[in-house]
Amino acid sequence: MKRMETNSDEFEAQVERMIRISKEKPLLPETYVPWDDEPNQDTLFMPEKLVSLAGHPLWDTLTKEQQIELGRLEVVQVMYSYAWSETLACHFFNRHLLKLNPDSSEYRFLIRELIEEYRHQEMFGMAIKKLDRIPIMPTRLHKFFGNLTVKRLRPSLVFMSVLSIELMADIYAKHIRKDEKVFSVMRKSSELHYIEEGRHIFYTESWLKKFTAKAGFFRATQYSIVVMLNIYFMRTLYVKKEFFQKIGVENPNKYYKAAIKHYRGKFAENSLKASIEFVNSFNGFNWITKPLWRKILKASV
Ligand SMILES: [Fe+2]
Ligand SMILES: [Fe+2]
């Protein structure tokens, strides 16, 4: 009992500290990102390792310009997908706030998170405009499940969904901000996102412990499936056939099919580590969920 109290006191103190940092050291996209920089003909827009086709034999049949253009189209799609999922998350945060006391740390932290998420959405929008490419809108099915999640599911499941997507966004941001060959606008916006999402992830993971710590077999299975479906949901938003038509290859369908298959393997390799650790933390891998993660996400669990 004593230990539980200390833990929750520590958590409260940490949340207060994060609220303070958010207020005292705000990272404003307007000034943090060098919007006036311009790319040259060698500038990449996304690290090659994250581009769907890179590493596949067909990648070498593309010209340098086609390779760069594919990265540009895909990073615009990734940013659009995150902005869209953050808009959905904000919808839920507002719904959740209505039930909270305004002087609670939970309420005050979520207000800071909302402010930051709105800034992120604006930043992604500005970056997309700067890159001057048009993203492809989510399908009707994506819209349906996105709305269903944030409007109808229990808060614990929505927080779990938000966290799954933040863990993935975090890995993209980490790779993009570190790659010197990538356009400064992308690197700095990823850096900003990486710093602020670190706080959101810490908060959401700790908040979820109330639920995950006592999850039995069925709850852990349910949580694990929610995480998996969210990752699957995001992954299907990134790679689009239209991009191969736009870069002007002769057989876009062939390229698209190769890219999607190749990307699945790369994604499993590059982007799943943090999510797998999270699911492991509540014993979410069992005889029901393991085969699903392996089949659907090609995860080695
Ligand atoms: Fe964000
Ligand atoms: Fe976030």
SS (H, E, C) 158-218: HHHHHHHHHHHHHHHHHHHHHCCCECHHHHHHHHHHHHHHHHHHHHHHHHHHHHHCCCCHH
Burial of 44 (0-12, 13-18, 19+ CB in 10 A): buried
- The helix/strand/coil state of 44 is strand
Average pLDDT over residues 34-60: 96
Q: What is the pLDDT of residues 219-236, one digit of tens each?
A: 999 999 999 999 998 888
Residue that wins the pLDDT comparison between 237 and 63: 63
Q: Which pLDDT does position 6 carry in this prediction?
A: 55
Average pLDDT over residues 112-123: 97
Q: Which helix (H) or strand (E) segment is 237 a member of? A: helix 217-238
- Give the distance (Å) from ligand 1 centre to CA of residue 255: 31
Domains along the sequence of the chain with CATH: 55-297 (1.10.620.20)
- Give the distance (Å) from ligand 2 centre to CA of residue 40: 31
Q: Which two tokens stand for residue 291?
A: 């085969």
Which ligand ends up closest to the CA of 117?
A: 1
Contacts of 296 (CB under 8 A, 6+ apart): 228, 232
pLDDT > 90: percent of the chain: 86
- Give the distance (Å) from ligand 1 centre to CA of residue 89: 9
- Give the distance (Å) from ligand 2 centre to CA of residue 59: 33
- Give the distance (Å) from ligand 1 centre to CA of residue 27: 12
- CA dist 54 and 48 (Å) reads 6
Phi/psi of residue 189, nearest 5 degrees = -70, -35
- 233, 49 contact by CB (below 8 A): no
What is the full DSSP assignment across 235-281? Answer: HHHH--HHHHHHTT-S-HHHHHHHHHHHHHHHHHHHH-HHHHHHHHH
Which ligand ends up closest to the CA of 79?
A: 1
- CA dist 259 and 248 (Å) reads 15
Q: Which two tokens stand for residue 221?
A: 């299975």
Longest alpha-carbon distance in the chain: 68
Q: Which pLDDT does position 234 carry in this prediction?
A: 86
- Give the distance (Å) from ligand 1 centre to CA of residue 101: 24
Residue in the structure block whose two tokens are 């200390």: 6
Q: What is the pLDDT of residues 173-206, one digit of tens each?
A: 999 999 999 999 999 999 999 999 999 999 999 9
**Which residues make up the environment of ion ligand 1, defined by Cβ < 5 Å?**
120
Q: ∠16-19-25 over CA atoms, to 5°?
A: 130
- Give the distance (Å) from ligand 2 centre to CA of residue 244: 31
